[in-house]
Amino acid sequence: MAGSADTAPIVHIAAVDKVFAGREGGRTTALSAIDLDVRPGEFVSLIGPSGCGKSTLLRVIGDLVQPTRGSVSVNGKTAEQARKDRDYGMVFQAPVLFDWRSVEDNVKLPLEILGKDRAWRAQRAKAMLELVELGDFTKHMPYQLSGGMQQRVAIARALSFEPRILLMDEPFGALDEMTRERMNDEVLRIWEQTGTTVVFVTHSIPEAVYLSSRVVVMSARPGRITRIVDIDLSRPRSEESRETPRYFELITGVREALRAGGGDVDDAGTPSAARTMAEGAVG
């Protein structure tokens, strides 16, 4: 349930740059002058071509990468403090499960690190696995599960310690289309049930439009935000939503934004109130 426009943003990014020093002495500008606000309980997607820095931006939020310039505030704290307070959970493109632990023990991993007691760990793990509908597979080993199931375990693990923010980096990129659409519905269901804020990186336009409240369109060289598209499809979303004319209009809008790498105005012809423009976006 998205908050109203005047609730304080849970993620506030201002004028962030990220430059990597290259090996042969060159420099890669992964991010340039990024401004972004995410409201509590929102579902925001980052979309763009390879090299546009969307994964880097996600990791800047998660304090896995330090910005060269600019400020990041998460949940009212610095990104580093938010990470240390475990305010967010991450799901990566690869499930990154430990193949020496059972499904259940994999979900318990962050809880062990947090030092929770055994009973609480067992109860949370069970609850999370039920949430992702893998309650029957608690004792299985990762190699026995399909890719989609492993990702669901990763999601259960990310949610096990009740983070306020969920960061997902192309989690369904390795799955086939049908599994991916099913997983999309899973994520929406979990999102609605837990009320977590989600920042979701993808390069599938339909996925971004189907899932999000807003789609942040990025472009490469240097990585920057070119446009933010409001998705005004009604919720809860379902198969029917994928067949409405508005859905296709929004997809076209996002696609055009991606192509142009520029543009002031969204598809409906009215400038979006919540949109933030990066400087020098044209090009």
Q: How far is the CB of 171 from another protein (least distance, A)?
A: 13
CB 85 within 8 A of CB 38: no
**Cβ at position 131, least distance to another protein in Å:** 19
* Helical (H) or strand (E) element with 19: strand 11-21
Sequence-ordered strand ranges (E) for 170-266 = 197-202, 214-219, 224-230
Q: Pick the closer one to another protein by CB: 84 or 182.
A: 84
Residue 51: CB minimum distance to another protein, A: 6
**Is residue 161 a contact partner of residue 108, using CB atoms and an 8 Å limit?**
no
Which is closer to another protein, CB of 149 or CB of 229?
A: 149
Q: Which is nearer to another protein, 68 or 276 (CB)?
A: 68
The answer to whether the CB of 212 falls within 8 A of the CB of 45 is yes
Q: Give 117 or 143: the residue with its C-beta nearer to another protein.
A: 143
Nearest to another protein of 126, 140 (CB atom): 140
Rg (CA), the chain: 19
CB of 70 to another protein, least distance (A): 8
Distance (Å, rounded) from C-alpha 222 to C-alpha 58? Answer: 16
CB of 125 vs another protein, minimal distance in Å: 15
Would you say 49 and 16 are in contact if contact means Cβ atoms under 8 Å apart?
Answer: no
Decide: 223 and 32 in contact? Cβ < 8 Å: yes
Question: What residues form DSSP beta bridges with 168?
Answer: 91, 200
Phi first, then psi: give them for residue 90, nearest 5 degrees: -120, 140
Nearer to another protein, 69 or 259 (CB): 69
Distance of closest approach, residue 94 Cβ to another protein, in angstroms? 6
Binding site for another protein (CB under 8 A): 20, 22-23, 28, 30, 50-51, 55-56, 59, 62, 64-69, 83-84, 86, 88-90, 92, 94-101, 109-110, 112-114, 137, 139-147, 150, 174
